[in-house]
Copies of this chain bind each other. A is one copy, B any other.
Amino acid sequence: MKVIGVIPGKKESAHIIDVDKPEISSSEVRVKVLRVGICGTDHEIDQGLYGEAPEGEDFLILGHESLGIVEETGRDVKGFEKGDMVVSTVRRPCPENCLNCRSGENDMCLTGNFKERGIKSLHGFMAEYYKEIPEYLVKIPEELSDVGVLLEPLSIVEKAIMQTFKIQERMKWKPKTALVLGAGPIGLLATFVLRDMGINTYTLALDSIDSKKARLVMESGASYIDSTKEPIPELGEKLGNIDFILEATGSSTVSFQAMDILGINGVLALTGITGGDKKLEVDADRLNLSLVLGNKLIFGSVNANITYFRKGVKHMQNFEVKWPGLLSKLISRKVVFEDFKEALLRKKDDIKVIIEIGK
């Protein structure tokens, strides 16, 4: 079968490789891949900045955002059968099987020695087929066939938001106002989740108010803010007490600006991967004082375990009822398998680019 592999550390090394179709054991499932989404991490791996091949191999099959169909199940597999539509989670436990990994919270792995399909020491899903054990597969209802490939990025959002609500059980908390920083896939999906929860949501990005991203934001009932016209430092006053901020621009400048406008008892969830070495001058005394006197909280959130994938499926179903077709508009470009290099290019107006692999 054909797969898209990279040589980790080598720039723009992605190429099609022929490998054997995976054989499954009695406890495994073979999945035929329908499509795969591209995210920032894939770009970084393609640029040679990130990524690790499985032990003993010299290439890594790319791809961690997938949608597929069960083609065959081992005889001991329960709960899945041929024809089921599925998404696979990404992270796998560390060899030490730390406290968090052994309780299914491998997104909270304590050792850092976890593996991740398509990213770190395990092959990904840019392949005609992959195999997996059932505990890492999530069933996708038929009606979500067009958008199920968005479940992995949605799981990132679900984790950040579910963690926030869990954290805030430390007090009475009824968030009224949320601010989402960034309108890429993570920012838009966060906007939809917050709107589905009935929270007054503002989503900010660099695009103009008549851009496609702005329209998608507004279709969900959120307000769009063009940050070139209304800079972040001014929003504290404009929006009142900001109960929740989700940072999804990937800029640490934005993260620090967000800390400054966070409201009393507020939570700032950071999700952006800032791989650079930017330094900033920070009003340290003032920021520290405001965090303390306002009982404010900042946390970082990465990856997602299967709980968040399952929660994402429910939200997707809600989205389709409330805003039919809105979710599918995040898929801004579809590329056939052979043209995968096109998919790895960043183009203007891209939101989510997917590679069509099977049918």
Q: CB distance B295 to A107 under 8 Å?
A: yes
- By the criterion CB–CB under 8 Å, are A293 and B285 in contact? no
Cα distance A63–B352 in the bound complex, in angstroms: 59
A116: min CB distance to chain B, Å: 12
A220-228, A274-282, A331-339 - the one binding chain B: A274-282
Q: Are A292 and B285 in contact (CB under 8 A)?
A: no
Using A100-B171, A295-B300, A300-B295 as known contacts, say yes or no to A285 and B289 having CB atoms under 8 A apart: no
Copies of this chain in the oligomer: 2
A166 within 8 A of B: yes
Interface residues of A in 161-180 (CB under 8 A from B): 163, 166-167, 169-172, 174
Instruction: Find the B residue at minimum CB distance from A290.
Output: B300
Interface residue? A256 (CB, 8 A): yes
Q: Is A270 an interface residue (CB 8 A)?
A: yes
Task: Say if the beta carbon of A317 comes within 8 Å of chain B.
Answer: no
With A108-B171, A293-B302 known to touch, is A277 a contact of B286 (CB < 8 Å)?
yes
Question: Are B105 and A171 in contact (CB-based, < 8 A)?
Answer: yes
- List residues 226-267 of chain A with CB under 8 A from any CB of chain B: 241, 252-253, 255-256, 264-265
Chain A interface residue count, Cβ-Cβ cutoff 8 angstroms: 57
Whether A100 pairs with B288 at a CB distance below 8 angstroms is: no
Are B270 and A274 closer than 8 Å at their CB atoms?
no
Partner of A298, one of B265, B286, B299: B299
Closest Cβ of chain B to A341, distance in Å, is 28
A302 to chain B, nearest CB (A): 5
Knowing A167-B170, A284-B255, A284-B278 are in contact, say whether A273-B299 is a contact too (CB < 8 A): no
B285 touches A291 (CB 8 A): no
A297 at the interface (CB under 8 A from B): yes
Flag whether A296 is at the interface (Cβ < 8 A). yes
A278-B267 Cα distance, complex, nearest whole Å? 24
Please measure, in the bound complex, the distance between the C-alpha atom of A194 and the C-alpha atom of B335, giving whole angstroms: 56
